[in-house]
Amino acid sequence: MGASGMTAREGLPRVILVVSGSDRPGLTRALAEAVHAAGGNWLESHLSRLGGKYVGSVLVELEAAALQALEAEVRKVDATGLSVSLVPAENAEAAEPRPSLQIELLGQDRPGIVREVTAVLADLDVNIASLITGTQNGAWSGEPLFRARVVVTLPEGLTQNTVQDALEAISGELMVDFTVTVAED
């Protein structure tokens, strides 16, 4: 059952509700209530506090005629501090499962780490399914450390060892450590 309290319904249009703005307690609840009030079903979401702001995306399933109602309901949540957009979602066709890897990265923070890592992955034709990054102070040095967790899907014929070797080739230059494992579904 979705967060809106409704069960998934086959064949209904799906939209991605994208929101950003001032963070406050109860904002996610207010969004869930808005989705429900428009007759939508909350399927998936990625919500977080980023740079002091509330940022997120929600995959919503609802009748096509209810799209305007959804936008109106969400805009009522915070008419002055919340940016809202609706993006049509593509119909997900059942694809053959592809091998997935999880890549953990840890190292001294510096500009360009994400650019270098994503360049290596793109050159291998690897698709990034999820990328979560952050910084924290090092336990002993107090220097900022960069941490990332990346989940990727591999193209046909590419192996975990090939990905690991390509990342290790840049690890010294970036001064980061990589751990590459098979991703859990």
Count CB neighbours of 50 within 10 A: 12
User: Pick from 41, 68, 88: which residue ends a domain?
Assistant: 88
pTM given for the model: 0.78
Is the residue at 5 inside a domain? Answer: no
E-only strand ranges, 62-93: 82-88
- Looking at the fold, whether 125 and 152 belong to one and the same domain comes out as yes
Domain end, chosen from 33, 68, 88, is at 88
Rg of the chain in Å (alpha carbons):
20
Taking the C-alpha atoms of residue 126 and residue 170, their distance in angstroms, rounded to an integer, is 16
Q: For residue range 108-145, what is the model confidence (pLDDT) as tens digits?
A: 999 999 999 999 999 999 999 999 999 988 777 778 89
Per the prediction, the chain carries an average pLDDT of: 89
Residue 59: which of 115, 104, 18, 97 has the closest Cα?
A: 18
User: Residue 24: which pLDDT band, with cuts at 50, 70 and 90?
Assistant: confident
Q: How confident is the model at residue 95 (pLDDT cuts 50, 70, 90)?
A: low
Q: Residues 92-115: what's their mean pLDDT?
A: 86
pLDDT of 5: 40
Provide the terminal-to-terminal Cα distance of the chain, rounded to the nearest Å: 20
> Residue 58's domain is classified under what CATH number?
3.30.70.260
Tell whether 125 and 178 lie within a shared domain.
yes
Q: Two tokens at 107?
A: 């190292």
- 93, part of any domain: no
**Pair (118, 70) in one structural domain:** no
The whole-number pLDDT of residue 2 equals 47
**Residue 35 forms part of a structural domain:** yes
Is residue 3 included in any domain, yes or no?
no
Count of domains in the chain?
Answer: 2
Owning domain of residue 137 = 100-182
Residue 9 has pLDDT above 80, yes or no: no
**Number of C-alpha atoms within 13 angstroms, CB side, residue 23?**
10
Which helix (H) or strand (E) segment holds residue 165: the answer is helix 160-174
Domain end residue (candidates: 34, 63, 88): 88
* Residue 82: per-residue pLDDT: 85
In 3D, which of 52, 48, 56 has the Cα closest to residue 22? 52
31-79 residue pLDDT tens: 999 999 999 999 999 999 999 999 999 999 999 999 999 989 998 887 6
124 plus 78 within the same structural domain: no
Among 71-80, 81-90, 171-180, which stretch is predicted with the lowest mean pLDDT? Answer: 71-80
